[in-house]
Structure 1
Amino acid sequence: MRYRALLLAAASLTAFTATAHAQTAAPAADEATVEQIVVTGTRVARSRLDTVSPVDIVDNKALTRQGTPELAQALANLAPSIDFPRPAVTDGTDSVRPATLRGLSPDQTLVLLNGHRAHTSALVNINGSIGRGSAPFDLNTIPTAALQSVEILREGAAAQYGSDAIAGVINLRLREARSGGGATATYGVYNTNIETTRNTSGRHANDGPTYSASLWQGFALPNDGFLTVTGEYSYRNPTNRSDLDPRVTPNKVTGIYGDPQVETKTVYANFGLPVNDSWKLYGLAGYQNRKGQSAAFPRLADNANNYVSVYPNGYIPKITTDIDDYNAEFGAKGDIAGFTVDASVNYGSNKVKYGTINSINASLGPSSPTSFKDGSMQYGQTVAAIDVNRPLELFHFAKPSTLAFGVEYRDETYKIKAGETASWVNGGNGKGAGAQGFPGFRPTNAVDVSRHSTSLYADLDNQVTDKFDVDLAVRYEDYSDFGSTTIGKIAARYDLTDSFAIRGAYSSGFRAPALQQQYFTTTSINIIGGAAVDVGTFPATSATAAALGAKPLEPEKSKNYSFGAVYHKGPFELTVDAYQIDINNRIVLSENIQGSATGTPTQQAIYSLLQPFGVTTARFFINGVETKTKGVDIVGRYRLDADEAGRFDLTLAANFNDTKVDKVPTTSTLSSLPVPPSLFARVNVATYEQGTPDKKFVASGEWTNGPWGATLKGAFYGSVLIPNSNQALDYRSGDHTVWDLEARYTFLKKVTWAVGANNLFDEYPNRAPAAVNTTGVVGFPGFSPFGFNGRFLYTRLSYSW
């Protein structure tokens, strides 16, 4: 608490001192937005092609010239190193879908908002999706209309930014406009032919109509300051790509498998205000509400947990999510005695409220409610930081070195609140207890925990000669729950000619166990042998998990190696970067450890361990997985001015990626059993190794000629594996290429009309085989890196002023 009070006070005092000492000064020039200038991964702003580390820049035009309102989807369409699968029938993950960078866990990429650490989602992914066990940042909480650009640092940067930056960093930069504005309205719908394993003749669908509208406006503040306000609304109707259900005669579609219904309302404000020649204030505020509704597996009329008097034709439980996401920041930046000081305080919060509708608590009999409030999860984060830098004359280097150092205090909170009694209670009649589809959190699942951490860092950028640049960084972090760690980084670049340079880096990194992973708990009741038993996910520090040998979670540790080259001459540029990322002590969600009083000797031993807690099956988060990821990123770009034919901007980018699991976790307790159960079984190992594409290519062409414009983009996705508990039933999504096309025309100089098609040729991943889809629900693999919804047609009308 002492450190928290001191740092919060210092950051706030520094910020407000700038206002108190402000004097009348001549207005400063507007800060020009230069797309090619990079501020991520370096303490010295550089041209994108002059950086020591590989950075991709995606501007607002590239993000918005697509048919999707989702930021994560837009980035995945453009960046080969980003994967954004669209899982379905995975509870809350349907509405909070995680993205991955370089095939690593979603929470191993740090997300920044205007250069400062952003908060993660309260949701932890516990079902069979990519990113199982992670609690990452939700990219879709930030509207694309509010963004000026996105910088993707493809290199470990924990020594510079702290925990989570193992795979890299994504910096979301909000608009900085003091005038002008724009309004955009988009409508789109899927127009597709669905051919599934049991229905090869196919069916046609026009579904998932999506509406979105955005509005942004820049306002002038004194001294050439700015205030930019953005509002965005979107509504997406659900899609359904289920197969026919073989359990009913005649076979028909009984499930819902596709995009959930989602309504999103977002508002953001970003400001900068110079107060004198040396100091300026800055800040942001943002809020999003997202309401989602997704489907669970169907319960047919004869299901054991159905009452025909309530649902004579069976039912499909619907899981609802009501998400509130907040961001707020205030800071000041200026000069003190030759040092540039940046002091800031930011707060972020994400709350997910769960509900279940069209459901029943079968254990309560036919008088059970059919809708439930299932409880909520909430994560909060407060960060206070002071960052300082100044030039230093060292060793007669070609240019002054830049020394940067700083301190950061972070306070985190995590809460789980119980649902209403009917959502989780066991009525005692031998049927399924709790809301069907998503049982509510029990009072025993409720948690209210917090932790804090303090970090110190130093970064020295040395321009040794005109051609040789070396960057050194070191960081120390101390957490209240597991102790401290020290990490470092060295990166260098050498310009062999004006056109050709080589670069490389080595760094150590870490990721602190998330509070969500440390304390998430949920319990449901299964009827086994006619008796009601608890089955659940338990914190590693709980008595239940400890009985199986679980220990408090520790940080993940990484070593990152990279080597690359940059070539640019005239309108052509090419970057090639190879990397290796070794991660030890990765945190994963264990398999279900199941006991039985009458099973095998191992099951009986587990039953004895768990019996004192009234539980027969348990899982928990555990350290111990070791992986090695190797890959290459290639990005080529060529710009051509063809006079009367117009201007062309051509890009070809590729990512090759390979991950191997070298070690899986164990506990001494379970290892001593006759046949030790696996804590991280083949399915999860295969998901780590082959669940994301081993190669992805993106080719795009942008053409403009007066009022006309067009974008053509093709993305090739390597096949991914969909593993099953029975290895003989494993199948693959297949290699596929998806083409997107958009045409635009601007009239009256300010109004632009666009029409386009995502997945122009209606490409689908390989169908889910009948043997792994016995209910007919899962028509296509949820691991598919380009989804499974088919062709999407859209039109967009924009007006700028």
Structure 2
Amino acid sequence: MNYRIGSSVQAPKAITPLASAVMVALATALLAASPGAAAQDSSTQGSSATTLDTVSVLGSRTKPRTVSSSAVPIDIISGEEFRNQGATDALDQLKVLVPSFNVSTIPIDDAASLVRPANLRGLPPDNTLLLVNGKRFHRSAVITFLGHGLSDGAQGPDLSVFPSLALEQVDVLRDGAAAQYGSDAIAGVLNFGLKKLREGGTAEVFTGKYYEGDGLTTQYSAQIGLPLTEHGFATFTAEWRKADDTSRSVQRDDAAATAAAGYPEVNDPAQIWGSPKVDDDFKFVANLGLTTESVDFYLFGNYAKREVDGGFYYRDPTSRSGVYSNDGGETLLVGNLTGAGTCPTIALRDPSGNLLPYAGVAAAVGALPANCFTFLSSLPGGFTPRFGGELEDMSVVAGAKGTLGEWYWDVSGSYGRNDIDFTIYNTVNASLGPDQPANLYFKPGGNTQTEKNFNVDVSRDIPVTFSSQPLRLALGAEWREESFKISQGDGPSTAIGPLTEQGFALGSNGFNGFSPRTAGTFDRRNWAAYADLEAQLTEKFLLAGALRFEDYDSFGSTTTGKLTGRFDFTPNFAIRGAYNTGFRAPTPGQANISQISTVFGGTALEDIATLPPTNPIAQIKGARPLTPEESKNFSLGAVWTEGDWLVTLDGYRIEVEDRIALSTSFTITDAERAALVAGGNPEAASISQVTYFGNAFDTTTTGVDLVTSYKSDHFGGDTTYSLAANWNKTKVDRFDTDFIDEARVYKLEKSLPKTKGYFSIHHQRQIFHANLRFNYYSSWYEDHLDSGVISAADGGLPIYGGSAVIVDAEVGWKFDSGLYFSLGAQNLFDRTPAKNPWSGVAGAEYPVHSPYGFNGGFYYARVGWKF
């Protein structure tokens, strides 16, 4: 039996004065647009929908193709379309433009709140490959320890490091492509194409906030194009952004009960569910090119940094294990600092389980001998850690390309680095007792992902007698080195203090520092060779194939292949299909990371250690060395064009075997814990549960993509209608019951909406443009408490979020002088999910993994000058 919170989203809120003002302003601007306003070339205005003549380098290693002529499904999103919305983060911008792309706000999920996991076609973020100007981009250093089931353990790229102003277009290949591009391209490929300007530029200011009055976002962007001699270009783009945090929290039941019992300094709300604070978010992109008579040289790269500060779970002073109580809140945890004498037992609850008044407990604490210590003395209201970090990302790609006889060649090298230094404050290392760092501030260390690539690609056309079109052959080789570094945390964050043996938790509470035993750098190297052949066998029939061999020094070699075909029945109608095999290699981070996190286990917080498969603690619970994921991808579709109409319909089936993910947590017994400590694993002293990476389940994902567009001259201007929708379903075919449980399977299969799509109208009339988008999300499953305990208490009833339609709107003007401005709203009618029925338990007003967010409506304004 399922518990469903309504069949749709929560009924619209009462319209606030602010929401009313935004809607009236947008409507007035639309109605006030004059057909007689000064004319301007529509090509310089806001974006239109997908065009038939825009080409993409994806899907073929030989000849770039348009959306309508491609043998595989490709979305081509112009840079202007990317920017004409209120979102400033590339993840949120893609979410409303690509139906099979999902990402949600991550409020309290450890490092996932710093680099949010995104899912293409229902698969984890490291199943999608990111390219920039057609070259592989490095992955993030963040491993998603808590990924709502679907993304647990994933290590994907950070798409948020690129300013949208730098993008000429974004290509989305919705098909497996490991045979062409290598590891990770199971769900598809994203390619960020950078602008190439020799002159002119743009300066822009953006600001907006949520209807609730929080989350103020301010962004400054600038771009300039310069000539690089007479035959080259140099384009530079910079962006600085700051976003305040939000809160959609309610008071937790335990915090309310603690406050009612007289405990002082209990905040209301005690913990914050909301978007984290982002400060000093700086992004810079350079794209340079130089053409000579025989060789073209290119150089591009990025630098980005940002600081993120978010909330964590509240530590209740009457129950938090390892800090305040170790018997479920019956008695207070009291430590003996000298070992002399015996410390008294102090009750926290009466025989019926009710909290005793704080006054009596405080009096007993005040009477403790000087050698007896309890955190109730210094933190009587409990505490809520704040977690965040500073992220830094940089990359550089340099290369040359040209022709040699009949051959076209391209040689390039790249270096990419993503670094994160974690911080956690307003917390304690309980094992240190009263000897805490200043301001309760800890630096638990960090992670660094570094990648080096070297590529040689050649191609040529080979004339044949059986066709007017030549065979198109592409060959290439790649060498890649990848390393993952774990940086040691500071002393207080890793210390095993003197009170450890008395039951006080060691390490910075909430996110333990990386210890000297787990710190280090872990490398992996691989090389690959590929061949790609494309033949226009007849005027109507295109056939292409690709084969790739890769060899890794960590686990051996793998071979993948792809076969693609397209048949044009008429100039306006064609069918297309593809079959490919793919793989994803386990990352050095997944194979070696070690971390202790705090999760909400039903009704209490629990410390869970994530350990590498080689760790003796993990091996006790069945850990084995990681092997690659392997996939099979089938797709079949149709393309129809007629005048200003474009319609594509593509079905797909993705089978993935031996998926790599985090296991279910395993309980460590007292005997196992004692044996591990005695065997030289001191960190096991405060570990109650462990999880590790493994290959333990297979899935099949099936779906259908529908993309349509129609151009017209409606409403006295150029009006483009676009409809795009995705239906996607994942089924777990096999899983190891010793590795994951039914609750995890349920998350894998149900956590994303099965149907997602949008219908948009873009209108361009002289200097005026308007965008209206209706975004649809079907129902989805939520269990952000990471446990079935609460659901089981109510008869095993899971939380369901209902379907929703979210409306976005924007109007704007661009003048001959180059001045432009726009105003708009995302989630115009301030829709939020139905309220969380267990909000008092977790302190979250809404289900926090809502695919369309839980912050409500956001209004914004943009003003700029293009010169």
Please give the range of the TM-score, normalised by the shorter of the 2 chains: 0.7 to 0.9
> Please, which of 507, 516, 528 is the counterpart of residue 443 of structure 1?
516
Which residue, 228, 232, 248 being the options, matches 1:221?
228
Q: Match for residue 153 of structure 1?
A: 173
Q: 1:434 to 1:469 in 2, by over 3 A?
A: same
Q: Is the 8 A contact 1:595 1:610 kept in 2?
A: no
- Show the counterpart of 1:22: none
AA partner of residue 487 (structure 1): T
Once the two structures are TM-superposed, the CA of residue 606 in structure 1 deviates from its matched residue by 9.6
What residue in structure 2 maps to residue 717 of structure 1? Answer: 777
SS across alignment from 1:566: strand
The 1:730–1:704 alpha-carbon spacing in structure 2 relative to 1, beyond 3 Å, is same
**Equivalent pair of 1:359/1:435 in contact (CA under 8 Å):** yes
| Partner SS state of residue 523, structure 2 | strand
CA deviations 1:499-532 (Å, max 9, x no partner) are: 0000000001111111111111124799xxxxxx
Looking at structure 2, the residues matched to 133 and 281 of structure 1 have their Cα atoms a distance apart, in angstroms, of: 39
Q: 1:265 is matched with which residue?
A: 282
Aligned equivalent of 1:798: 864
2:428 is the counterpart of 1:360: yes
Structure (1 or 2) with the greater strand fraction: 1
Distance in 2 (alpha carbons) for counterparts of 1:294 and 1:775: 20
Q: Structure 1 residue aligned with 2:692, among 605, 615, 620?
A: 620
Map Cα deviations across residues 110-141 of structure 1 (whole Å, 9 max, x no partner): 11011011100011001143411100011101
Verify the 8 A CA contact 1:433 1:524 in the aligned structure 2: no
Q: Which residue of 1 aligns with 2:717?
A: 646
Query: Unpaired segments of 5 or more residues in structure 2?
Result: 1-50, 261-266, 325-374, 600-605
Shift of residue 309 of structure 1? Answer: 4.9
| Aligned residue runs from structure 1 range 642-681, under 5 A | 642=714, 645-665=716-736, 678-681=738-741
Q: CA–CA distance in 2 between the matches of 1:225 and 1:551?
A: 53
Q: Relative to 1, partners in 2 of residues 1:40 and 1:243: Cα closer, same or farther, differing over 3 Å? A: same
Q: 2:441 aligns with which of 371, 381, 391?
A: 371
CA displacement at 1:279 relative to structure 2: 1.1
Equivalence map 1:7-18=2 (5 Å) = none
Q: 2 CA distance for matches of 1:62 and 1:549?
A: 49
Q: Counterpart in 1 of 2:619?
A: 546
For 1:435 and 1:545, locate their aligned partners in 2 and report how far apart those are by CA, in whole Å.
22
SS of residue in 1 equivalent to 2:214:
strand
Tell me what 2:309 maps to. Answer: 293
Distance in 2 between residues matched to 1:257 and 1:799, nearest whole Å: 37
Give the equivalent residue in structure 2 for 1:425: 495
How many Å apart are 1:421 and its aligned residue? Answer: 1.1
Cα contact 1:242–1:776 (8 A) shared by 2: no
CA deviation digits over 1:237-291, x for unaligned, max 9?
0000112322315794221111000121011100110122x31000112100111
Contact 2:117-2:147 within 8 A present in 1 as well: no
Q: 1:47, CA displacement in angstroms?
A: 2.0
Which residue does 1:13 correspond to in 2?
Answer: none
Match of 2:57 in 1: 39
Q: 1:197 matched to which residue of 2?
A: none
Q: How does 1:701-712 map to 2 (within 5 A)?
A: 701-712=761-772
TM-score by length of 1: 0.88
1:540–1:78 distance in 2 versus 1, CA, 3 Å = same
Residues 163 and 510 in structure 1, CA contact (< 8 A), matched pair in contact too: yes
Instruction: Identify which of 448, 459, 463 aligns with 1:393.
Output: 463
Alignment-derived partner of residue 202 in structure 1:
none
Secondary structure of the 2:760 match is: strand
Match of 1:753 in 2: 821
47-56 vs 215-224, which deviates more?
Answer: 215-224
1:487 to 552, 556, 560: 560
Residue 396 of structure 2 is matched in structure 1 by 328
* Residue 777 (str. 1) matches residue 840 (str. 2): no
Check conservation: 1:60, 1:148, Cα contact below 8 A. Answer: yes
TM-score scaled by length of structure 2:
0.81
What letter is aligned with 2:808? D
Alignment partner of 2:213: what SS? strand
Instruction: Tell whether the 8 Å contact from 1:56 to 1:151 is kept in structure 2 after alignment.
Output: yes
Bigger mean CA deviation after superposition, 392-401 or 646-655? 392-401
Residue 72 of structure 1 aligns to a residue in which SS? helix
Q: 1:163 & 1:569 partners in 2: Cα distance?
A: 38
* Cα root mean square deviation, aligned: 2.1
Match of 1:405 in 2: 475
Q: d(CA) in 1 for partners of 2:517 and 2:607?
A: 12
SS of 1:124 mapped into structure 2: coil
Map of 1:159-178 to 2, 5 A cutoff? Answer: 159-178=179-198
Partner Cα distance (1:689, 1:713) in 2:
28
CA distance in 2, matches of 1:622, 1:607: 25
- Secondary structure of the 2:269 match is coil
Distance 1:84 1:524, change over 3 A: closer
User: 1:184 and 2:186 equivalent?
Assistant: no
Aligned positions of 1:724-735 closer than 5 A: 724-726=787-789, 727=791, 728-735=796-803
Q: 2:193 corresponds to which letter in structure 1?
A: R
Deviation at 1:34, TM superposition (A): 9.7
Q: Deviations over 1:192-246 (max 9, x none)?
A: xxxxxxxxxxxxx310100011100111112431110000010000000112322
Q: Which amino acid aligns with 1:383?
A: N
**What is the aligned partner in structure 2 of residue 671 from structure 1?**
none
Give, in whole Å, the separation in 2 of the partners of 1:525 and 1:763. Answer: 31
What is the CA–CA distance in structure 1 between the aligned matches of 2:586 and 2:597, rounded to whole Å?
Answer: 25
Residue in 1 that maps onto 2:832: 764
Tell me the distance in 1 between the aligned counterparts of 2:496 and 2:481.
37
Structure 2 residue aligned with 1:637: 709
Structure 2 counterparts to residues 469-548 of structure 1, below 5 A: 469-523=542-596, 536-548=609-621
In the alignment, which residue of structure 1 is the partner of 2:240? 233
- Structure 1 unaligned segments of length 5 or more: list them: 1-32, 192-204, 527-532, 598-603, 667-677
Give the Cα separation in 2 of the matches to 1:312 and 1:551. Answer: 44
Contact 2:122–2:730, Cα closer than 8 Å, also in 1: yes
Using the alignment, how far apart are the partners of 1:220 and 1:628 within structure 2?
Answer: 51
| Alpha-carbon distance in structure 1 between the residues aligned to 2:282 and 2:762 | 31
Q: Is the aligned partner of 1:741 residue 2:809?
A: yes
Candidates 661, 681, 689, aligned match of 1:588: 661
1:52 counterpart residue number: 71
Q: 1:379 Cα shift?
A: 0.5
1:679-690 → structure 2 map (5 Å cutoff): 679-690=739-750
Q: Does 1:95 align with 2:114?
A: yes
Q: Give the match for residue 21 of structure 1.
A: none
**SS at 1:586 equivalent:** strand
CA contact (8 A) 2:162 2:284 kept: no
Higher relative contact order (CA 8 A, sep 6+): 2
Task: Establish whether residue 132 from structure 1 lines up as the match of residue 180 from structure 2.
Answer: no
Distance in 2 of aligned mates of 1:641 and 1:611: 78
CA contact (8 A) 1:238 1:259 kept: yes
Per the alignment, in what secondary structure is the counterpart of residue 553 of structure 1? coil
Bigger mean CA offset, 60-69 vs 747-756: 747-756
Matched residue type, 2:291: P
Other-structure match for 1:19: none
The alignment-based identity, stated in percent, is 36
Distance in 1 (CA, whole Å) between partners of 2:443 and 2:676 is 33
How far 1:155 moved relative to its partner? 0.4
Task: Using the TM superposition, give the Cα deviation of residue 356 of structure 1 relative to its aligned residue in structure 2, in angstroms.
Answer: 1.0
Instruction: Please give the alpha-carbon distance, in whole angstroms, between the structure 2 residues aligned to 1:213 and 1:409.
Output: 38
Distance apart, 1:394 and its partner CA: 3.2
Match for residue 669 of structure 1?
A: none
Which residue number in structure 2 is paired with residue 111 of structure 1? 130
Q: Which position in structure 1 is the counterpart of 2:538? A: 465
Which amino acid is 1:371 matched to? Answer: Y
Counterpart amino acid of residue 709 in structure 2: R
Change (3 A) 1:159 1:744: same
SS at 1:444 equivalent: coil
Give 2:450's aligned residue. Answer: 380
2:358 maps to what in 1? none
